[in-house]
Amino acid sequence: MNIPQACQSRVEIQATYRFYSNNSVTWVKLLKAHTDQVEQRIISTEEAVIICLQGITERNFNDQETEDLGRLSYDAQRGMYLHSTRCIAPERIFLGIRYAWMWSRGKTKLEDETNPIIKESDRK
């Protein structure tokens, strides 16, 4: 669902775009409030074991105007990767996302080889 579909009015659409355009709003800050709550949920379950599922998702932005996004599985695709850890109680109750990290590759393999900031194999 995109922003215009999710909002009820033009005012809500405009407010949402302004919110996301605000440089002080980052995905890390938005996620922090959520991860703090997840930690509290984990503590309150009093379970001896919490299942933590990790996964990587490709976010493909080929159909949108974007800048500075790297290649995905194919060189023609542009986007970023999301690595997340989801926490679940043994009773299959979803507690939330405990960790997330987004990154993108270089636009070419050569760019990754000549300018390696973090190797994919070194990521946690």
Provide the domain limits for residue 39: 25-122
Mean pLDDT over residues 9-20, rounded? Answer: 94
In a domain, 44, yes or no: yes
Q: Could you tell me what percent of the chain has a pLDDT over 90? A: 50
In a domain, 7, yes or no: no
pTM of the model: 0.66
pLDDT higher than threshold 90 for residue 50 = yes
Concatenating the DSSP letter of every residue in 53-85 gives EEEEEEEE-TTS--SS-EE-SSTT-EEEEEEEE
In a domain, 78, yes or no: yes
In a domain, 56, yes or no: yes
pLDDT band, residue 120 (cuts 50/70/90): low
CA–CA separation, 49 vs 15, rounded Å?
Answer: 41
Number of domains in the chain: 1
In a domain, 15, yes or no: no
Tokens linked to 19: 């919110």
In a domain, 97, yes or no: yes
CA–CA separation, 85 vs 53, rounded Å?
Answer: 5
In a domain, 3, yes or no: no
pLDDT higher than threshold 80 for residue 10 = yes
In a domain, 90, yes or no: yes
Mean pLDDT over residues 87-104, rounded? Answer: 92
Name, in order, each residue with C-beta under 8 angstroms of 34's C-beta and a sequence gap of 6 or more: 96, 97
Q: Which residues pair with 99 in a beta bridge?
A: 85
pLDDT band, residue 124 (cuts 50/70/90): very low
pLDDT higher than threshold 60 for residue 95 = yes
DSSP reduced 3-state for 26: coil
Q: Tell me, what's the pLDDT at 20?
A: 87
